[in-house]
A and B are shown apart, each in its own frame.
Chain A
Amino acid sequence: MIRWKAVGPLACFAALGLVAWWLFADRIARRTLETVGSAALGAKVEIRDVELRLARGRVAIRGLTVASPFEALENLLQADELVADLALAPLLEKKVVIDRLAAKGLRFGTPRATDGRIPGSSSGLMDRAKDFAGRLPVPALQLATGKIDIARLDPARLETPAAARALGARVDSVRQAWDEGLAGLDVSATVDSGVQMAERLRRAKGGPPDLKLLGDARRTLDRVKQTGTRLTALERTVRTGTTLLETGVAGLEDAKRRDYALGQTLLQLPSLDAADIGAALFGRAAVERFQRALYWAELGRRYMPPGLLPKAEAGPRRARRAGSTVRFPRAGAYPAFLLRSGELSFQLAGAGAGDRAEPRAYAAQVAGLTSDPALYGRPATLSASAPGVRAAALLDHVHATPRDTAAASLAGLTLPELTLPQLPVRLAPGRGSATLSFALAGDSIRARWSLRADGVRWARDTAQAATAPLGDVVWRAVSGIPSLEVSAGLAGTLARPRLTVSSNLDRVVAERIRALVGDEVVAAERKMRGRVDSIVEREARPARAAARSVTADVPRRLAAERARLDGVRRTLEQRLKDLTRLPGIRLP
């Protein structure tokens, strides 16, 4: 039964809805873009206005500001205007396909008045990137002051005692197994019966041939040979076991080296190796760059996952529970989001004289940015090139194992200032060149950052100088150096990354420190090593001795048994040969 009188009010209601859409759609779209963008990036996304012209398939976003997720008072980018040409049909499937995007007036790294970071909003990606950075050991360039407190060395954190206990247990079990194996062979009984048989054969020589005796002799010889074969197998086992125990002993030395390193970290003793100096001076700067690159790569993986399986993500924010919204990509259908191609114009500091050089406009292209790379079938690419600037990135999430690569180089541009960590020294590289390359395949990571500048200006923070004992040393070492070359490499996996950093300052600073405080540091290191030794050797020495004992003793015993067996075998064979050589005797 239809209530016809309600058709009019319902039509009015629908018309009101359309009017509300016409009035508020731009505002709703702006709010939605800000909310979604902020949640995705972990930093505030602010938009001045959005103009929706769905009939013409065009959306214009003006005054876009994206805060940096890393720096409190810095914007990641600002854009004067972004104009997107949308495909209309996918909108009916709640999918956004942008055929072409034009971005004008992009600016990077501009300052902002308030902190734009939103803690915890990037679904743990920032925490993961920070955890990764925390796994990269960056030594501290500082001297131990006052009395060295060796009691802080917690024996429970040392690796060697545990390794020694494990080795000791392994030695015991191996020794027991070998002893049982040797006892099971019963070589003595075999040798004794062989000797007796040889004696009987010797006595039988010259007498009438005794076929039964010859048969017994052959059986005895066979038993001797079988025992020899089993002894050979045992020797093989012992050789393998010996190798394992020797590896275990070598492992003790490795563990001890790690314990020394742990002790050194606890005592905050600076290493005098040039490589460590480089890591101490520029490790943090390198890690910061690698961490950022990893964050963006992980963000790409989060929102551009490989494969065609259903993908769940957090539902829309509302008063009620958000739940999860699941996407069901299907081959041949539109992805939930696709940017076919985009043209970006952006500005970077100019290469003119001084820091106040006018920004210069450059252009870049982006293509294939999609939420479902497997549907699009091609990797996303981004490239930018201009005099002095080259950048390219390729996000290949088409296959099961995602591969992300990016490389950028800047030349002839003013490089940002660097602060040497925990030291009252700052350096302004001035104009120079910098490169960053980054590759993440599955969880294997490889990255390199290098910096080169020939007009370095050094500045000293006099307020901080009094509190940093090494500041004066480093300042005197580096302040006269006009050029800077830094190279940092990252390799390994996300779980076990390895960082190497070197610079042209390493050797200079290391020699300076060595000359000034090297003796004290070496003495402190020796003292620390002594303390580590006193703890670890209590368990390591007996384990090592037991391993050496068993690896020397058992093979010696085996060799002795082997000699006895071989001797009796040769005797028996000789006696048999002598007997069977008699004329007229035919052996069965």
Chain B
Amino acid sequence: MLLKLLQSFFKALHSEGAPGQVAAGIALGSILGLTPLLNLHNGVVFALIVLLDVSFPGALLGWALFVPVGCLLDPAFDWLGQRLLLDTPALTPLWTGLYNTPVVPLTNFNNTVVLGSLVCALALWPPLFVASRWGVARYRATVAERVRSSRLYRALAASKLYAAYRLFRP
């Protein structure tokens, strides 16, 4: 698992994709990590990651990085979901309408953790995208070459996963 994480990390940073593509992948992957995985909205996010020209390793990196963050923040997500679903009467007509609309309830939006985490993930998406793009650009400009020539990177790049990754690289 750790090895895969490292592979994802370096491959995302050193991929031929533009920093924006890697950052978009990380930001989309963060949605998978922050919200409970087995939900319909994550199917949509996964389809976006696969179909859009964003970095797939970046998405894997974002997912891997934000899974523990999501678990740690679950109490906060639960609290936020409670506030939105139960303690904000102004939103009740919206939730009632969505709850009684076909397909929408299959997203589990009416679960406090799912809604709270999704709202947080969507709110974090723009700043995370900007920060990731800046971070990737800075990395490539400063230490990328040294890392690329290191033995650890060469060992990772030679692994089987690299071949699979190349299928989805931007």
Determine the residue in chain A with the shortest Cβ distance to B21: A1
Once the chains are docked, how many angstroms separate the CA of A7 from the CA of B85? 36
Determine the residue in chain A with the shortest Cβ distance to B36: A320
Given A1-B53, A315-B113, A326-B85, also A320-B92 (CB < 8 A)? no
- Do the beta carbons of B105 and A93 come within 8 Å of each other? yes
User: Among the listed stretches A156-164, A327-335, A446-454, A467-475, which one makes contact with chain B, having 4 or more residues with CB under 8 Å of it?
Assistant: A327-335
- Do the beta carbons of B100 and A93 come within 8 Å of each other? yes
- Do the beta carbons of A310 and B85 come within 8 Å of each other? yes
Q: Which of A310, A321, A322, A333 contacts B95 (CB 8 A)?
A: A310
Determine the residue in chain B with the shortest Cβ distance to A321: B74
Once the chains are docked, how many angstroms separate the CA of A413 from the CA of B22? 76
Given A310-B85, A330-B99, also A315-B112 (CB < 8 A)? yes
Q: Which of A1, A6, A328 contacts B100 (CB 8 A)?
A: A328
- Do the beta carbons of A320 and B100 come within 8 Å of each other? no
Is B82 among interface residues, defined by CB-CB distance under 8 A? yes
> Quick one: which of B43-79 are within 8 Å of A by CB?
47, 50-53, 70-71, 74-75, 77-78
Given A315-B111, A328-B96, A330-B99, also A3-B85 (CB < 8 A)? no
Min CB distance B104 to A, Å, is 8
In the bound complex, residues from chain A placing their C-beta under 8 Å from that of B110 are 325-328
In the bound complex, residues from chain A placing their C-beta under 8 Å from that of B29 are none
In the bound complex, residues from chain A placing their C-beta under 8 Å from that of B74 are 320-321, 323
Min CB distance B56 to A, Å, is 9
Is A110 among interface residues, defined by CB-CB distance under 8 A? no
In the bound complex, residues from chain A placing their C-beta under 8 Å from that of B167 are 9
Q: Which of A6, A310, A329, A334 contacts B86 (CB 8 A)?
A: A310
Is B141 among interface residues, defined by CB-CB distance under 8 A? no
Min CB distance A329 to B, Å, is 8
Once the chains are docked, how many angstroms separate the CA of A92 from the CA of B50? 26
Q: Which of A3, A328, A329, A333 contacts B53 (CB 8 A)?
A: A3
Given A3-B50, A3-B51, A7-B51, also A324-B96 (CB < 8 A)? no
Determine the residue in chain A with the shortest Cβ distance to B53: A1
Once the chains are docked, how many angstroms separate the CA of A476 from the CA of B97? 71
Q: Mark A305-346, 1 if CB is under 8 A from B, else 0.
A: 000001010011010111111111110011000000000000
- Do the beta carbons of B95 and A330 come within 8 Å of each other? no
Determine the residue in chain A with the shortest Cβ distance to B79: A323
Q: Mark A1-42, 1 if CB is under 8 A from B, else 0.
A: 111001101100100000000000000000000000000000
Chain A: number of interface residues, binned into ranges:
20 to 34
Is A94 among interface residues, defined by CB-CB distance under 8 A? yes
Once the chains are docked, how many angstroms separate the CA of A431 from the CA of B98? 57
In the bound complex, residues from chain A placing their C-beta under 8 Å from that of B97 are 330
In the bound complex, residues from chain A placing their C-beta under 8 Å from that of B92 are 310, 328
Q: Which of A92, A322, A328 contacts B113 (CB 8 A)?
A: A322
- Do the beta carbons of A326 and B50 come within 8 Å of each other? no
In the bound complex, residues from chain B placing their C-beta under 8 Å from that of A92 are 102-103, 106
Once the chains are docked, how many angstroms separate the CA of A89 from the CA of B101? 11
- Do the beta carbons of B114 and A326 come within 8 Å of each other? no
Pick from A92, A323, A326 the residue with the most CB of B within 10 Å. Answer: A323
Q: Mark A79-111, 1 if CB is under 8 A from B, else 0.
A: 000000000010011110000000000000000
- Do the beta carbons of B86 and A312 come within 8 Å of each other? yes
Once the chains are docked, how many angstroms separate the CA of A316 from the CA of B99? 17
Once the chains are docked, how many angstroms separate the CA of A423 from the CA of B47? 71
Q: Which of A2, A9, A326, A334 contacts B112 (CB 8 A)?
A: A326
In the bound complex, residues from chain B placing their C-beta under 8 Å from that of A315 are 111-113
Once the chains are docked, how many angstroms separate the CA of A329 from the CA of B75? 26
- Do the beta carbons of A323 and B86 come within 8 Å of each other? no
Given A10-B47, A318-B36, A324-B112, also A2-B102 (CB < 8 A)? no
> Quick one: which of A118-174 are within 8 Å of B by CB?
none
Q: List 20 A-B contacts (CB under 8 A).
A: A3-B170, A6-B51, A9-B50, A10-B51, A93-B102, A93-B105, A312-B85, A315-B112, A315-B113, A320-B71, A321-B75, A321-B77, A321-B78, A323-B77, A323-B78, A324-B78, A325-B108, A329-B96, A330-B97, A334-B100
The 8 closest A-B pairs by CB, nearest first: A323-B113, A321-B74, A1-B53, A92-B102, A323-B112, A94-B105, A328-B99, A328-B96
| Additional 16 contacts, C-beta under 8 A, given A326-B110, A333-B100 | A1-B52, A2-B52, A3-B52, A6-B50, A6-B168, A10-B50, A89-B102, A93-B104, A310-B86, A320-B36, A320-B70, A320-B113, A321-B78, A323-B78, A323-B116, A329-B96
